[in-house]
Chain A
Amino acid sequence: MQYISAERYGNSYRNAEKKRYRDRSRAELVETVAETVFTFCAFCSVLAVASITLYMVVNGTPAVFRVGLKDILFSSTWKPVAKEPSFGIFYVVLSSIAGTAMAVILGVPVALLTAVFLAEVAPKKLAATVGAAVELLAGIPSVIYGMIGMMVLNPVMYRLEQRIFARTPGHQFTGGANLLSAALVLAVMIMPTVISISETAIRAVPAHLRASSYALGASRVQTIFRVVLPAAKPGIATAVVLGVGRALGEAMAVSLVSGGSVNVPLPFRSVRFLTTALVSEMGYAGGLHRQVLFTVGLVLFVFIMLINLSLNRILKERERQDD
């Protein structure tokens, strides 16, 4: 800052100039501090992601080298505390995938049609009520889902199981805690996510598309299924992917309803997911067993990352389409 000589402009001017300078430097200070704070906050989350990734990789890989990737991923015997332990998580991975897939198959159609109902069909008042209910569903903690699943769904499942397998002598009865129960609970849990995101996507479909469709003589149902839903496809795909992520990462509810034995993932077998393997064994595991659990965590982490990457790809695709 340069001063213009005081003799020429007088004292009063100089004072004003000084004040302005002070104010400006104060403002600059505030700016700098604010910027630093923002930057720091932004780094916090980046730091968290980076350190979690590193931690998982650093802790998850030693067991891979000690046991062998093939013996962990593609062997189906999980006997971590036996004299000759074997750490095959093939069925566990398969259960996670099967459970998530079943949840999506059961949950997404219902959720999608609910979204269509909310966005296209329902009168405003009814839509508001149903929408509020859906939001409420999203807010229920997962342990509550698990508890209700255990207390209400499992006994019903057991009755069904007894009826179906009454004449099958080789069947091991699970008491209703099985893959199907887990998938049903997960289906309900992913619904709010899928509903709200696909509803937004459907609402965002421009009105002129609908108008053109009606003008061509299409009925309402034809318009919804032939015009609106295809137009909202990227949004719906996002919704499904997020739902898959939620289902894959859920631990609490699943651990309460799925039975927890390592088995081939069939609907009426009790199964263990990647998440529940971690939850149930971490407290008591030691040595190599513990390390392998970290590898299980790493596998789960990789799955979630893949889901997120595919989500990013979908979003980018959508951007390109919009352009």
Chain B
Amino acid sequence: MCIHRIKKKSVWWLLITVVFVIVVKMKENKIAQAADSMVCGQPIQTVPNQQNRNRSEASGEELCGSVTMAGSTAMEKMAGILAESFMLRYPGVTVTSEYTGSSAGIAAVLAGSADIGNSSRSLRKDEKDCGAVGNIVALDGIAVVTDADNPVVSLTTEQLTDIYTGKIRNWQEVGGTDEAIVVIGREAGSGTRCAFEKLLEIEERCAYANELDSTGAVMARAATVPGAVGYVSLDVLDDTVHVLAIDGIKPTQEAIQSGSYLLQRPFIMVTDGELSVQSKEVRAFFSYLKSKEGQKLIRSVGLVPVDAESK
């Protein structure tokens, strides 16, 4: 058959149909993901899951299956190390983790495409309404950093607030040298930014000179720009930057555990429904988290472990 015989028009129709089908598929996918519309589709989705879980619990004695995690980039270190050592402990289970951002991770759990969503911010109301349950697994400190040459050692909460809202613009005003303050923060939607602003009660009042889109970028800029101040998660600190004490307290694991360091936030692992209705593998993962070994691993990446209680 020759191709000339096909009418040009019909080819166009074919093309349009294909595009249409693709779009429809995309739409279906999106509704399923529930990320944008926050449609509560859980009852439909959990019922078959529940049956699967019951069946696997009834038949299998050995742990064998998979746990999928998705979520915060700030929790990458912790999630990675936990996944690897969990797999060593239970060779039958595969743990995969993606680092797509807190919100995306929670959305993935609600859509059923991930078992655990890593989130460095607390759950929003609409997410809770859809059945998301946050399990606090660790505490993270947010360190306030400056360039290495900055002589300022400590700031009060008030000074920090004033710096971030733009009232204080020179280090001289807080006992430093005559150097302009370059206020560096994270982009809107970041878990770290959300927690930082909430803890200082300066939500949406910050006057950032730079809004950078990753912890690494904040570290790099704070290290290179004289007079810069930024905030990063505790576990990425190194000696390229100078860490400030807040109200005289340095962000150490002890200070965070005792609660005396102000800027701390929970890392949570989100599940669709309570822990008790999760699959055997997921429950094993959480009990591994709570075990001595798990707690040691969490501590090894610079975080403070807590008992994984659902909240």
Taking the nearest CB of chain B, how far is it from the CB of A143, in angstroms? 13
By the criterion CB–CB under 8 Å, are B23 and A58 in contact?
Answer: yes
The CA of A50 and the CA of B106, in the complex, are separated in Å by 32
Asked if B149 is at the interface of the complex by the 8 Å CB criterion, the answer is no
By the criterion CB–CB under 8 Å, are B208 and A261 in contact?
Answer: yes
By the criterion CB–CB under 8 Å, are B191 and A284 in contact?
Answer: yes
Asked if A259 is at the interface of the complex by the 8 Å CB criterion, the answer is yes
By the criterion CB–CB under 8 Å, are A286 and B188 in contact?
Answer: no
Task: Give the one of A39, A46, A158, A260 with max B CB within 10 A.
Answer: A260
By the criterion CB–CB under 8 Å, are A172 and B3 in contact?
Answer: no
Could you say which residues of chain B place their CB within 8 Å of the CB of A176? 225
Contact among A81, A155, A287 for B36, CB-based, below 8 A:
A287
By the criterion CB–CB under 8 Å, are A284 and B211 in contact?
Answer: no
Task: Give the one of B1, B2, B189 with max A CB within 10 A.
Answer: B189
Task: Give the one of A28, A83, A284, A286 with max B CB within 10 A.
Answer: A284
Task: Give the one of A35, A54, A81 with max B CB within 10 A.
Answer: A81
Could you say which residues of chain B place their CB within 8 Å of the CB of A55? 23, 26
Could you say which residues of chain B place their CB within 8 Å of the CB of A78? 188
Q: Which residues in window 67-113 of A have CB below 8 A to B?
A: 78-83
The CA of A174 and the CA of B183, in the complex, are separated in Å by 8
The 8 A CB mask of A280-303 against B (1 = contact, 0 = none) is 110111111111000000000000
Asked if B221 is at the interface of the complex by the 8 Å CB criterion, the answer is yes
Could you say which residues of chain B place their CB within 8 Å of the CB of A173? 169, 180-182, 209, 227
Main secondary structure of the interface of A (DSSP, over half): helix
Q: Decide: A272 near B209, CB < 8 A? Known: A81-B188, A155-B224, A173-B181.
A: no
Could you say which residues of chain B place their CB within 8 Å of the CB of A174? 182, 209-210
Asked if B235 is at the interface of the complex by the 8 Å CB criterion, the answer is no
The 8 A CB mask of B265-304 against A (1 = contact, 0 = none) is 0000000000000000000000000000000000000000
By the criterion CB–CB under 8 Å, are B191 and A172 in contact?
Answer: no
Closest to A256 in B: B217
Asked if A36 is at the interface of the complex by the 8 Å CB criterion, the answer is yes
Q: Which residues in window 107-143 of B have CB below 8 A to A?
A: 107, 126
Taking the nearest CB of chain B, how far is it from the CB of A297, in angstroms? 14
Number of interface residues of A (CB under 8 A): 52
The CA of A189 and the CA of B300, in the complex, are separated in Å by 44
Taking the nearest CB of chain A, how far is it from the CB of B268, in angstroms? 15
By the criterion CB–CB under 8 Å, are A284 and B210 in contact?
Answer: no
Could you say which residues of chain B place their CB within 8 Å of the CB of A79? 188, 204
Q: Decide: A39 near B3, CB < 8 A? Known: A285-B189, A286-B35.
A: yes
Q: Decide: A261 near B211, CB < 8 A? Known: A172-B183, A175-B227, A281-B187.
A: yes
Taking the nearest CB of chain B, how far is it from the CB of A308, in angstroms? 20
Asked if B104 is at the interface of the complex by the 8 Å CB criterion, the answer is yes
Could you say which residues of chain A place their CB within 8 Å of the CB of B150? none
Asked if B100 is at the interface of the complex by the 8 Å CB criterion, the answer is yes
The CA of A85 and the CA of B197, in the complex, are separated in Å by 16
The CA of A170 and the CA of B190, in the complex, are separated in Å by 28
The CA of A162 and the CA of B1, in the complex, are separated in Å by 74
The CA of A54 and the CA of B25, in the complex, are separated in Å by 13
The 8 A CB mask of B171-184 against A (1 = contact, 0 = none) is 00000000011111
Q: Which residues in window 243-292 of A have CB below 8 A to B?
A: 255, 259-262, 270, 272, 279-281, 283-291
By the criterion CB–CB under 8 Å, are B15 and A260 in contact?
Answer: no
The 8 A CB mask of B7-23 against A (1 = contact, 0 = none) is 00001000100110011
Q: Which residues in window 97-152 of A have CB below 8 A to B?
A: 150-151
Could you say which residues of chain A place their CB within 8 Å of the CB of B225? 154-155, 158, 175-176
By the criterion CB–CB under 8 Å, are A260 and B180 in contact?
Answer: no
Closest to A260 in B: B211
Q: Decide: A290 near B210, CB < 8 A? Known: A79-B188, A175-B227.
A: no
Task: Give the one of A150, A261, A279, A288 with max B CB within 10 A.
Answer: A261
Could you say which residues of chain A place their CB within 8 Å of the CB of B249? none
The CA of A36 and the CA of B2, in the complex, are separated in Å by 9
The CA of A218 and the CA of B300, in the complex, are separated in Å by 78
The CA of A123 and the CA of B38, in the complex, are separated in Å by 66
Asked if B246 is at the interface of the complex by the 8 Å CB criterion, the answer is no
By the criterion CB–CB under 8 Å, are A287 and B100 in contact?
Answer: no
Taking the nearest CB of chain A, how far is it from the CB of B17, in angstroms? 11
Taking the nearest CB of chain A, how far is it from the CB of B264, in angstroms? 20
By the criterion CB–CB under 8 Å, are B38 and A287 in contact?
Answer: yes
By the criterion CB–CB under 8 Å, are A286 and B107 in contact?
Answer: yes
Q: Decide: A260 near B23, CB < 8 A? Known: A47-B15, A175-B182.
A: no
Contact among B2, B103, B209 for A175, CB-based, below 8 A:
B209
The CA of A113 and the CA of B36, in the complex, are separated in Å by 50
Could you say which residues of chain B place their CB within 8 Å of the CB of A83? 203-204
Sort A-B residue pairs by CB-CB distance and give the 9 closest, nearest first: A286-B103, A280-B213, A175-B225, A284-B189, A175-B182, A173-B180, A283-B101, A260-B211, A284-B101
- Of the A-B pairs whose beta carbons lie under 8 Å apart in the complex, a sample of 22, sorted by A's number, is A51-B22, A58-B23, A58-B27, A80-B189, A81-B188, A81-B189, A82-B203, A150-B224, A175-B182, A177-B209, A259-B211, A261-B211, A270-B209, A270-B210, A280-B187, A280-B211, A281-B187, A281-B213, A283-B101, A284-B101, A286-B35, A290-B35
Residues of B within 8 A of A (CB): 1-3, 11, 15, 18-19, 22-23, 26-27, 35-36, 38, 73, 100-104, 106-107, 126, 166, 169, 180-184, 187-191, 194, 203-204, 207-213, 220-221, 224-228
Residues of A within 8 A of B (CB): 28, 32, 35-36, 39, 43, 46-47, 50-51, 54-55, 58, 62, 78-83, 150-151, 154-155, 158, 162, 169, 172-177, 255, 259-262, 270, 272, 279-281, 283-291
